[in-house]
Chains A and B, each alone.
Chain A
């Protein structure tokens, strides 16, 4: 695994994309085919099946390190990564003979069939022979989550460099539900026909956020629709079956069984890009109705009735088995309209309404009504644009409605983890309720590194009381908290829960007395909840 560890170190030691790409390309040119395939799998979120529970790993690592388990558990959140914590606490071992990446993955599969004592001995033996980087990587294979600063896009670029194939083609080849156990380097990368797999999705096109001052030219060049607050999904109807993919390339078919009926209503060889929304009486339900269904692999009947979903269709990628992504958006959308129009009202599919306008003023007015539709703003799509892959600037824009804001007082602070290990970054905020301060939300993001450093210095010197890792601080600082939505929540002391809260501004100009009140918050709940 030394070559894989070297690849990791090279990628980890630079912030420059070109150097990361060349490190990856070197690996794709020199490693064994099975190691290459695993490398692609790991960097595209396909990890080996978890064979050992993380609680056992923690136990074994602390035992080997000679520290109590609680001390390991205290260290873990500060490091922010389980595999890294393990690699750091283990004492240095005796270097053993180098084995390829695939060897270790197969070794893990072998251990998964053994009894617990054999597994433990196998893992300890592996750790003993590895250096710190190899341990980190090996343990990451065990814990999953291989996020190491290599995006799929970057990996695809390197793969393109190493194989001479086009990036777009490779992106498509890498989509879908393959794993290194079900395919080979030869079949996945070198074979000609990427559509051999009927469930294979197209890469999603992602929009950029429209910022103040961006000039898009005449409003009539643009198709406008609501920006729905659901889950992006790609519905595939091929070979008499249906598949639903998430933007994260996760197959969600079983979570939303109602879409099976679409096979009867829409023609064979259709691929639709849209938004999965909880939907009732011809209007979207609040996001938490959908939330109930996201975490579940299968759905009980009751939930199907309480939170029914539809696909809010907004683009057509494949028609009658033909890839139509290079056609202008306006044409694709017209074909989509025709397809969806054939389906009866009971089919769980809707057309995302066209809210285009002649001028930007009217569009701004439409955007301002977004909350009434449980939408997050507008989407703008250039009428003559093809369907691109990935996040590319220019043709699709999200024009979000301004967030809701409230001025709140910081009352608790906690240190961050990982990237933010030695800074106070996790805060609890309160609003006034008579003479007391009622906590109502936490927020972690929105400040600059310099501001986090300043507040960290301040927290250290103004701690009133400690509750484990949490510090109660003297109420002094007011922050403007921005959020996307507000809902009633009996679980919270304040009675409300916010959606996507973050610190929009540090209000140095505001004294604590001028922060908002619980009454203000309840008023927002009445208006927007």
Chain B
């Protein structure tokens, strides 16, 4: 029997339906797992995604021809049946299940298995073959539990606010920024947002997501008018001219990479919070086990190490080269978010 999905230089392809999933070059029809720039790219003839992903994709890609589905809804295209299931990565993100002649494959896109309080929680999907990322596919990555993380961030904010300092926290404008907003204790002080973050906030609020009150940083905004503020900005804004309006501030990054002291030091921020919208080591292993799949394809991250580990666990594991980027600390601007 032919494979349900193949890997081409345009992206993941389903021959039975003649569609691509998260392609990186223009194709006629694309199914999209989520709105980050390395998965939802411009130039596709038609897009199909979840209701939760569509607004942000329109916001980022402009005028596009997009159809939406609900989680779990079945869509038949050619000889294949598709359905979208929560990936827990960012609000609206999905794993895409593909069934052809009783054979089931799942493209997980980016995912995490622990709840963030905002995204629809990850839902394991049984399948024969599972396509997974492994950005953090090493046993050194274990995320801080949510209650402890909230306490760390709010304690940091409270201590700085008490001394009249602002906190600037670097986080991707889609997903990470909102989940952190959701974790903040608004009693401590005002919350300010970089324009790129606030634009995404507006889109998500429009969809009905509950986010705390925020103040957009405008060109004339001055740090001293907002004592003890928490400022959420894309990582690239930290250390830039933009950040100079908050001269007396403490800086932090929120990323899975912050688990490594060396990376934390390279960024030269005061604080690093270990938090990611990608699965950590226990998460990857649990997710893969729960699919019941025998065949695993690893796309991006520590692929060769993770593949070998999976083979030793008895899986038939392969590496496929893709253009997905995983969690990068080095976004060149808002639209580069992973």
A joins B in a complex: yes
Residues of A near any B CB (own CB < 8 A): 12-15, 65, 67-68, 70-72, 74-75, 78-81, 84-85, 88-89, 149, 417-422, 449, 453, 456, 461, 466, 468-469
**Contacting residues, chain B, for A67 (C-beta < 8 A):** 139
CB proximity to A under 8 Å, residues B56-101? none
**Contacting residues, chain B, for A88 (C-beta < 8 A):** 139-142, 259
**Contacting residues, chain A, for B138 (C-beta < 8 A):** 71, 74-75, 78
User: Residue B262 at the A interface, CB < 8 A?
Assistant: yes
Most A CB contacts (10 A, CB to CB) among B139, B141, B269 go to B139
**Contacting residues, chain B, for A71 (C-beta < 8 A):** 138-139, 305, 309
Whether the pair A418, B262 counts as a contact (CB closer than 8 A) is: yes
Nearest to A12 among chain B residues (CB) is: B261
Q: A37 → chain B, closest Cβ, in Å?
A: 26
Q: Mind listing 13 A-B residue pairs with CB under 8 Å?
A: A13-B270, A65-B139, A70-B308, A71-B138, A71-B139, A72-B139, A74-B138, A75-B139, A85-B140, A89-B139, A418-B262, A421-B262, A466-B304
Whether the pair B260, A421 counts as a contact (CB closer than 8 A) is: yes
How many Å lie between the Cα of A65 and that of B263 in the bound state? 23
Chain B interface size, as a band, is: 20 to 34
User: Residue B257 at the A interface, CB < 8 A?
Assistant: yes
CB proximity to A under 8 Å, residues B252-289? 257, 259-263, 265-266, 268-271
Whether the pair B268, A15 counts as a contact (CB closer than 8 A) is: yes
Nearest to B332 among chain A residues (CB) is: A453
User: Residue B329 at the A interface, CB < 8 A?
Assistant: yes
Known interface pairs A85-B140, A421-B257. Does A68 touch B312 (Cβ–Cβ under 8 Å)? yes
User: Residue B123 at the A interface, CB < 8 A?
Assistant: no
Q: Mark B287-322, 1 if CB is under 8 A from A, else 0.
A: 000000000000000101100110010000000000
Known interface pairs A78-B140, A89-B140, A461-B323. Does A422 touch B305 (Cβ–Cβ under 8 Å)? no
**Contacting residues, chain B, for A421 (C-beta < 8 A):** 257, 260, 262-263
Q: A24 → chain B, closest Cβ, in Å?
A: 17
How many Å lie between the Cα of A449 and that of B267 in the bound state? 10
Most B CB contacts (10 A, CB to CB) among A74, A79, A149, A422 go to A422
Q: A334 → chain B, closest Cβ, in Å?
A: 47
Whether the pair B268, A419 counts as a contact (CB closer than 8 A) is: no
Q: B18 → chain A, closest Cβ, in Å?
A: 27
Whether the pair B266, A449 counts as a contact (CB closer than 8 A) is: yes
Closest 10 CB pairs of A and B: A418-B262, A88-B140, A419-B262, A419-B266, A453-B330, A74-B305, A89-B139, A75-B138, A80-B262, A67-B139
Cβ-defined partner of B266 (8 Å) among A72, A81, A420: A420
How many Å lie between the Cα of A469 and that of B305 in the bound state? 9
Known interface pairs A13-B270, A75-B138. Does A84 touch B261 (Cβ–Cβ under 8 Å)? yes
How many Å lie between the Cα of A38 and that of B155 in the bound state? 31
Q: A137 → chain B, closest Cβ, in Å?
A: 12
Cβ-defined partner of B265 (8 Å) among A72, A79, A419: A419
Given contacts A15-B268, A419-B266, 20 further A-B contacts (CB under 8 A): A12-B261, A14-B270, A65-B139, A68-B309, A71-B138, A74-B138, A74-B305, A75-B140, A81-B261, A88-B140, A88-B141, A88-B259, A89-B140, A417-B262, A418-B261, A419-B263, A420-B266, A456-B330, A461-B323, A466-B304
Whether the pair B261, A422 counts as a contact (CB closer than 8 A) is: no
**Contacting residues, chain A, for B140 (C-beta < 8 A):** 75, 78-79, 85, 88-89
Nearest to A89 among chain B residues (CB) is: B139
Cβ-defined partner of B270 (8 Å) among A15, A80, A85, A468: A15
Whether the pair B304, A468 counts as a contact (CB closer than 8 A) is: yes
**Contacting residues, chain B, for A419 (C-beta < 8 A):** 262-263, 265-266
How many Å lie between the Cα of A88 and that of B139 in the bound state? 8
**Contacting residues, chain B, for A68 (C-beta < 8 A):** 309, 312
How many Å lie between the Cα of A288 and that of B28 in the bound state? 63
**Contacting residues, chain A, for B305 (C-beta < 8 A):** 71, 74-75
Q: A153 → chain B, closest Cβ, in Å?
A: 18
Q: A269 → chain B, closest Cβ, in Å?
A: 45
**Contacting residues, chain A, for B308 (C-beta < 8 A):** 70
Whether the pair A422, B257 counts as a contact (CB closer than 8 A) is: yes
Nearest to B282 among chain A residues (CB) is: A91
**Contacting residues, chain B, for A469 (C-beta < 8 A):** 304
Q: B328 → chain A, closest Cβ, in Å?
A: 8
**Contacting residues, chain B, for A14 (C-beta < 8 A):** 270
How many Å lie between the Cα of A499 and that of B268 in the bound state? 30
**Contacting residues, chain B, for A456 (C-beta < 8 A):** 330
How many Å lie between the Cα of A420 and that of B261 in the bound state? 10
**Contacting residues, chain B, for A72 (C-beta < 8 A):** 139
How many Å lie between the Cα of A186 and that of B263 in the bound state? 39
How many Å lie between the Cα of A71 and that of B307 in the bound state? 11
**Contacting residues, chain B, for A15 (C-beta < 8 A):** 268-270
Whether the pair B139, A81 counts as a contact (CB closer than 8 A) is: no
Q: B33 → chain A, closest Cβ, in Å?
A: 20
Nearest to B329 among chain A residues (CB) is: A422
Nearest to A456 among chain B residues (CB) is: B330
CB proximity to A under 8 Å, residues B100-148? 138-142
Nearest to B269 among chain A residues (CB) is: A15
How many Å lie between the Cα of A422 and that of B137 in the bound state? 13
Nearest to A92 among chain B residues (CB) is: B142
How many Å lie between the Cα of A8 and that of B330 in the bound state? 27
How many Å lie between the Cα of A65 and that of B138 in the bound state? 12
Q: A285 → chain B, closest Cβ, in Å?
A: 38
How many Å lie between the Cα of A188 and that of B138 in the bound state? 45
